[in-house]
Each structure stands twice: as C-alpha cells, then as structure tokens.
Amino acid sequence: MIKPHGSDTLNPLFVYDSEKHDALKHEAEGLPSLLLSSAAAANAVMMGAGYFNPLTGYMNLADAMGAAEKMLTTSGLFFPVPVVNLTSDVSAIEGHKRIALRDPNVEGHPVLAVMEVEAIEEVSAEQMAFMTEKVFGTTDPAHPGVAAFNSQGQKLLSGPIQVLNFSYFSEDFPDTFRTAVEIRNEIAERGWEKVVAFQTRNPMHRAHEELCHMAMDRLGADGLVIHMLLGKLKPGDIPAPVRDSCIRKMVELYFKPNSAMVTGYGFDMLYAGPREAVLHALFRQNMGATHFIIGRDHAGVGDYYGPFDAQKIFDDQVPQGALLIEMFMADNTAWSKKLGKVVMMREAPDHVKEDFITLSGTKVREMLGRGEAPPPEFSRPEVAKILMDYYQSLDK
C-alpha cells in the first residue's frame, strides 16, 4: 500500500489505548482550558484521524509562515497550508504548559484534545495578511475561507496534541465518518491495490458519477473511495445527510459490488482553490489512495480562481516527489447529445456548447424546488428524487 506522507507508517494523534485515554480524559478536566475556533477544532480532528500525518500538533508561527509561503515548514516538511490554533484571548491558559482544548461545535464544549503548549506567539496584521494572500490567493473578506481564517484571532498556540474524540462527526455520521486509519484498513481488507479518491462537498450528478468510472477504467483501479466533506460549509450548500443519501443511492444502483466505498471526513471547507487541492491530495495519500481526481475549479468559490488553477499548481509549485499520490486531471464532464454518453468536454473537440446538456446550479435548484426532476442525462432519477424532497421541505 502507498506510504503516508512524511513517514513510513501512519501516526494518528488519537489516543487509542483505553487506559491512557481514560487517564488523559480525567486529567483534562482539571486543566486550564481553551475554547477552540471551529477551524482549529477541525484541525485537531484531522490530526487525530491521521489525515494530517506526519504533524504532531499545531504549527508555530515560523512553520505556519513557511507553509504559507513555500509549502515547506522550517524542517523542510512539505505541507501546503498552515495548520494552526489561533485565538484572541489566552488569559485563561497563559503561563500554563499543559491545557485542555474544548470543542466549540458540541453542546457543553467537551474536551477535544490535550495540548502541550510550546509557544504562544502574537501574529502581526502583516503576517496574517501574508498567510491569507498566499493560501487563499486573496485577502477579500467576502471570501468565506478568508473570513473564517481572519476571524479567529492573532494569538497562535503551538505544540503537540493528544486527541480524545472526533467531535460531532462520529456520532452524527456513524455510517460515513471514517479516519484515515479505518480507510487504510478497509482498502487492505478489500484487497485493493490501485485506489482512486474522489472529493465532494455536493451531491454527485451523472457527470461526477461517470468521471469516477472514467478514472477507474483508465487507471485500471480496483476501487474508488468517495470522500465527503462533513464539516462546515458556506450558506446554501446542501447538508451532509442529504448528500450522503444521494451518493449512497447512486453507488448502490450504478457501481459494481465491492468497487466503491462511501466515506466522509471531519473538516471545515477552506474554499482555498489550488492550495486546498494540494491539501486534499495529501490527506488522500494518508488514507491510502494511490490516485486523486482533480476536476475543474476544484475547491473553489466565486471567481477567485481560474478553472484549472487547482491542476496547474501541481505542475508549477508542488516539488517533484513531494507527494507519492498521483493526480487524475479532469475537465468538465457533461452528456453529449451527439454521442449519447457523458464525455470530458476537452475530448469532444467537434462539439459546440449546444451539443452538451449542462445546467447551472441555480437552474437545477429552481427545478428541484418546483418538484421537477432534471433530465436523466444530468441527474439519476433516484438521486433527483432525494434532492427534490429536500428542496421542497425548505418551503414548508
């Protein structure tokens, strides 16, 4: 199986030993505590689950700046984004070396992790702007990722962590949330050698489904891991349970048995376009995938990124050999009226726009809200039914 990033074996930061876990949990109740931002909590979940291997905790300022500027920490580790714990108020934990990190997304704010505080550093406005520009390609506060990053505060806590739970993800999504450890184990159990990963924060329409089939066929892959983002999205995005139902129905009806896994991970979407595409590739390598589909406008939002910037970054900025996972670069896929099947648009040079069935997201939402199914060439009827029920429930 493919090695994880930066080490020979995966080193998740979740405390699996039950005795150590209980002792740590008991200790944590007596420690000074910090209520995390949602972003810092998501980082803890991802480190606990092994997706951010080989990190042992939150980055210090020098490593965060290095990751932002060159995608390299001070030790030379390739990492495409800063993984930080930013806050605005450290009065409750200042002077303490060992603290409890509390979950902002679960009622009662239970302890999510225990942290060994190595440093508390003040991040200047200039440094915040620098990291923002490098990671998101913009400092526009209207960008949802920029707004979230800059709302956390400018005091940066760094140091190793031990993770005690996976926030709300394991309870709210028991059939879908999987750690990188669990996905690696299941890939091994299924006997898959060549594994394609597909990232989604939306339901999968016919074009997405066919893109996965194309990638598997062309690569000779044994299996596909559909990996859903289960964390915070922007307003208007479809909730995770609805996406989950849509994708499971599609896999049940349109994929061969033992050819696709439906899984999810606990992280807040950054909408960082190219940088987030590289981050997505890194944690797919950590979960055991050998190939990762990068599509048009991957992880983008609005008009902040060019349609293929998330593909170009792998050629222009990612050092050779920085990641072992290979990319499957995809164009927009759509139903060709001429050929009677879904194709990648760039592979149909004799087509004009009218030869494809394409619908805007706004148009599709309007149709579903009226109880109208999009054409079967665009969306499988069984998937459309789930989405129609959801959109119509919003009006009640």
- pLDDT at site 201: 83
Cβ contacts of 163 within 8 Å, gap of 6 or more: 12, 13, 14, 15, 44, 45, 47, 48, 112, 113
- Residue 278 inside a domain? The answer is yes
* Residue 236: per-residue pLDDT: 72
pLDDT value, residue 330 = 93
Same domain, 31 and 118: yes
Exposure of 229 in the CB half-sphere (CA atoms within 13 A): 20
Query: What is this structure's pTM?
Result: 0.93
Asked if residue 266 and residue 134 are part of one domain, the reply reads no
Within this chain, do residues 200 and 341 fall inside the same structural domain, yes or no? yes
- In terms of domains, do 190 and 107 share one? no
Cβ atoms of 288 and 195 closer than 8 Å: yes
Average pLDDT over residues 154-175: 95
- Same domain? 230 vs 339: yes
Cα 395 → chain centroid: 30
197 part of a folded domain: yes
Q: Are residues 150 and 186 in the same domain?
A: no
- Please classify residue 287 by burial: count the beta carbons closer than 10 Å to its beta carbon, then call 0-12 exposed, 13-18 middle and 19+ buried: buried
Per residue in 189-228, pLDDT (tens digit) is 999 999 999 998 888 889 999 999 999 999 999 999 999 9
Give the residue numbers annotated as catalytic, written as ranges: 201-202
* Residue 9 in domain: no
Residue 1 lies in a domain: no
8 falls within a domain? no
Of 149, 170, 191, which residue is a domain's last? 170
List, as one string, the DSSP characters of 189-212.
Answer: HHT-SSEEEEEESS---HHHHHHH
Residue with the two structure tokens 């998501």: 42
Q: Residue 258 — pLDDT band, cuts 50, 70, 90?
A: very high
Q: What is the pLDDT of residues 310-336, one digit of tens each?
A: 999 999 999 999 999 999 999 888 899
Q: 161 and 190: one domain? A: no
Question: Is 291 domain-assigned?
Answer: yes
- In which band, very low, low, confident or very high, does the pLDDT at 396 lie, cut at 50, 70 and 90? low
Q: Looking at the domain assignment, is residue 7 inside a domain?
A: no
List of E strands, 230-371:
260-265, 291-294, 326-329, 333-336, 341-344, 356-357
The answer to whether residues 96 and 144 belong to one domain is yes
**Would the pLDDT of 58 be above 90?**
yes
Containing structural domain, residue 207: 176-393
Stretch 281-292: mean pLDDT? 98
Are 189 and 165 members of one domain? no
Q: What whole-number percentage of the chain has pLDDT above 90?
A: 82
Specify the number of domains making up the chain. 2
**Same domain for 33 and 157?**
yes
pLDDT for residue 233: 67
- Domain-terminating residue out of 170, 198, 229: 170
Q: What is the CATH number of the domain that holds 372?
A: 3.40.50.620
Choose the final residue of a domain: 170, 192, 218: 170
Average pLDDT, the chain: 94
For 78-92, the pLDDT digits (tens) are 999 999 999 999 999
| Overall average pLDDT of the 126-155 stretch | 97
Is residue 263 assigned to a domain?
Answer: yes
Task: Report how far apart, in Å, the C-alpha atoms of 274 and of each of 128, 220, 298, 317 are.
Answer: 19, 27, 7, 10
CATH number of the domain enclosing 72: 3.10.400.10
Residue 395 has pLDDT above 80, yes or no: no
Same structural domain, 165 and 200: no
Is residue 291 very low, low, confident or very high in pLDDT (cuts 50, 70, 90)?
very high
User: Are 53 and 71 in a shared domain?
Assistant: yes
Longest C-alpha distance within the chain, in Å?
69
Q: CA-to-CA distance for 66 and 84, rounded, in angstroms? A: 12
